[in-house]
Amino acid sequence: MKQFWSFIKKEFYHIFRDHRTMLILLGMPVVQIIIFGFALTNEVKNSRIAVLDRSNDAASASLIAELEASRYFEIQKHLYSYQEVEEEFKKGNIKMAVILPQNFEADLKHLNKAQVQVIADASDPNVANTLTNYASAIILDYQDRITDGRQLPYKINTEMRMLYNPQMKGAYSFVPGVMALVLMLVCTMMTAITIVREKEMGTMEVLLVSPVQPLKIVIAKAVPYFFLSLVNIASILLLSVFVLEVPINGSLPLLVLESILFTVTSLVLGLLISSVTESQQTAMFISLTGMFMPTIMLSGFMFPIENMPRLLQLISNIIPAKWYYIIVRSVMIKGVGLEAVWKETLVLVGMLVFLLFMSIRKFKIRLV
């Protein structure tokens, strides 16, 4: 046991003496969670729009004020003709135009209906669709308020309720995915170079002749990174809650334990990569490109897995980040407990056992 702790102590010395490793291990997760957390969002805010108000009455002014008061729109110009609308779109000055016809208020009062034309720049269909949905929601809210609950003839009211994320914040969707991405990349990359670094430095022979069992050597390699990863988990959760404003609605201990399970799985995956590669560059390349793209494409937080071909759906099942993403989203956003995520937890445990077995087996082959 003393030899085992000596190995762990040696690994700590390796890490603390390498400032680049410390920077990557502790600095990169903080930078990534901030950049990805703010950059990866499907929300469209402060979009430049123009308004053509041909009515110029109190009702049209009130509706325009509601559009401007929202965080989605910034009224760039007040236009006076249809020709100006087309010119502003061609110049790229606006992404949407709202046109209020003449007699807007009079039509509302006497006919109980009025027309509002919303024109969006569909050269980017997703943004155009999002903006028109925002505008439709604001106009519907305005209509409900001025009718004061009165029922209009043949009017169909649709009541919508957004569970878990009533404000439709993009961070609620991306933060769990970013947590999976950051932990997967950092943990895998760090341990991926541990064993192969011994090979390149020529110190592998010391390990080979030591009486320590391969299992203990593999665990000793992962232990320092595990403790440093706990710092990463704490920093990521703190940034998610206090900077990105994503609450933890479920059990914090459960979320931490699930994060530790995913972290250990990623560390062991890095050890497996380190055992089968011969240079640090190769190990870094595999851990970065081999983990980054599958995590982005097949974990489900960027693209719905249900929309993918059957083959990709099957491949996504071997991506640990997919299961961790489901767990974090369920515990952190939905507030559910272990009874709702025990299947995903068992999958991660199974992956951990398999990867640990493969790491030890590959390490034994190197000893022969």
DSSP-derived secondary structure for 246-315: ----S-HHHHHHHHHHHHHHHHHHHHHHHHH-SSHHHHHHHHHHHHHHHHHHHSSSSS-GGGS-HHHHHH
* Residue 11 three-state SS: helix
Range of the domain at 176: 1-40+169-362
Structurally, the chain folds into a number of domains equal to 2
- 132 — pLDDT class (breaks 50, 70, 90): confident
Same domain, yes or no: 24 and 105? no
Same domain, yes or no: 302 and 194? yes
Specify the pLDDT at position 124. 67
Same domain, yes or no: 316 and 234? yes
Specify the pLDDT at position 153. 53
Same domain, yes or no: 173 and 305? yes
pLDDT surpasses 80 at 217: no
Per the domain annotation, does 152 fall within a domain?
A: no
Same domain, yes or no: 94 and 221? no
Specify the pLDDT at position 161. 61
What count of other Cβ atoms lies within 10 Å of the Cβ of residue 239? 20
* CA-angle at 67, arms to 62 and 72, nearest 5°: 165
- 204 — pLDDT class (breaks 50, 70, 90): low
Last residue of a domain, one of 112, 147, 182: 147
The CATH number assigned to the domain holding 57 equals 3.40.1710.10
What count of other Cβ atoms lies within 10 Å of the Cβ of residue 179? 32
Same domain, yes or no: 257 and 355? yes
- In the chain, % of residues over pLDDT 70: 83
More confident residue, 347 or 16: 347
Specify the pLDDT at position 241. 86
More confident residue, 333 or 5: 333
Same domain, yes or no: 333 and 228? yes
- 207 — pLDDT class (breaks 50, 70, 90): low
**H or E segment and range at residue 68:** helix 58-69
pLDDT surpasses 70 at 173: yes
pLDDT surpasses 90 at 346: yes
Cβ–Cβ < 8 Å for 186, 29: yes
- 261 — pLDDT class (breaks 50, 70, 90): very high
- 125 — pLDDT class (breaks 50, 70, 90): low
Same domain, yes or no: 196 and 340? yes
Per the domain annotation, does 160 fall within a domain?
A: no
Same domain, yes or no: 192 and 332? yes
Per the domain annotation, does 156 fall within a domain?
A: no
Residue with tokens 């604001």: 138
Give the tens place of pLDDT for each residue, 60-107.
Answer: 888 888 888 887 888 888 888 888 888 888 777 888 888 888 888 888
Give the mean pLDDT of 286-307.
76
Same domain, yes or no: 175 and 270? yes
Give the span between the Cα atoms of 268 and 282, in whole angstroms.
17
pLDDT surpasses 60 at 158: no
pLDDT surpasses 50 at 368: no
Same domain, yes or no: 18 and 137? no
Estimate the share of the chain in helix, then strand, then coil, as percent rounded to the nearest 5. 70, 5, 25
Same domain, yes or no: 191 and 120? no
Give the span between the Cα atoms of 227 and 260, in whole angstroms.
10
pLDDT surpasses 90 at 35: no
Specify the pLDDT at position 262. 92
Q: DSSP per residue over 145-191, as a string?
A: HHHTTPPPTT--------SS-TT--THHHHHHHHHHHHHHHHHHHHH
